[in-house]
Structure 1
Amino acid sequence: MPVPSLPAEPASSPPRAIGPQEWTAANVPLLGNPREVVTGLYERHSPAAGTVVVGVLDPDERLRASASFTRRPGDSDGWVFRNTLLAQLRRVIPHDLRRRVPVRTAVLLHCREGESRWTAEDGAWMWGLRDACTLHGLRCGAYVTLTGAGWQILGEGRGGRHPRLGSRTTLFVPAADEVPTRPGQLGPLPEQRVESAERLAPGDEMPEQRAGRGGSLTERAAGLLSRPIDTPREQWPRTAAR
Structure 2
Amino acid sequence: MTFGFAPPPQVPPPTSADSAARLGRMLEPAEWASAGIPLLRNPREVVAGLHDRHRPVPSTAIVAVLDVQERVTASASFTELTAAPDGWEYRNALLVHLRRVIPHDLRLRAPVRTAVLLYCREGEPLWTETDGAWMWGLRDACTLHGLRCGAYITLTPDRWQVLGEGRGGRRPKPSTVDKPVTAARRTGAERMETRRTTAGRPEAPHTAAPLPAAPNRSMARRTGGGAPEAHRHTAAR
TM-score, normalisation: structure 2: 0.64
- 2:118 pairs, out of 103, 109, 112, with 109
**CA distance in 1 between partners of 2:105 and 2:128 (Å):** 31
Note closer, same or farther for the CA distance 1:86–1:75 as it changes in structure 2 (3 Å cut). farther
**CA distance in 2 between partners of 1:56 and 1:127 (Å):** 17
CA RMSD of aligned residues (A): 1.5
- 1:66 pairs, out of 75, 78, 88, with 75
Structure 2's unaligned 5+ residue stretches are 1-16, 178-237
Q: Say whether 1:93 aligns with 2:102.
A: yes
| Structure 1 equivalent of residue 43 of structure 2 | 34
**CA deviations over 1:13-47 (Å, ceiling 9, x no partner):** 70111111000001100000101111111111011
Q: Say whether 1:157 aligns with 2:162.
A: no
| Structure 1 equivalent of residue 21 of structure 2 | 14
Equivalent pairs: percent with the same residue?
65
| Structure 2 equivalent of residue 136 of structure 1 | 145
Letter in 1 for 2:21: P
**CA distance in 1 between partners of 2:176 and 2:42 (Å):** 18
**CA distance in 2 between partners of 1:44 and 1:114 (Å):** 23
Report how far residue 75 of structure 1 moved.
4.0
Letter in 2 for 1:168: P
Report how far residue 73 of structure 1 moved.
3.4
SS at match of 2:70: coil
**CA distance in 1 between partners of 2:85 and 2:171 (Å):** 28
- 1:54 pairs, out of 54, 63, 66, with 63
SS at match of 1:155: coil
Report how far residue 72 of structure 1 moved.
1.4
Contact 2:37/2:150, CA 8 A, preserved across alignment: yes
**CA deviations over 1:75-120 (Å, ceiling 9, x no partner):** 4110011001011100100000000000000000000111111001
Q: Which has the higher contact order (CA 8 A, sep 6+)?
A: 2
Letter in 1 for 2:141: A
Contact 2:157/2:171, CA 8 A, preserved across alignment: no
SS at match of 1:49: coil
Note closer, same or farther for the CA distance 1:75–1:65 as it changes in structure 2 (3 Å cut). farther
Contact 1:162/1:169, CA 8 A, preserved across alignment: no
- 1:122 pairs, out of 125, 131, 139, with 131
TM-score, normalisation: structure 1: 0.63
**CA distance in 2 between partners of 1:116 and 1:170 (Å):** 26
SS at match of 1:14: helix
Structure 1: 4+ residue segments shifted above 4 A: none
Report how far residue 168 of structure 1 moved.
2.0
| Structure 1 equivalent of residue 33 of structure 2 | 24
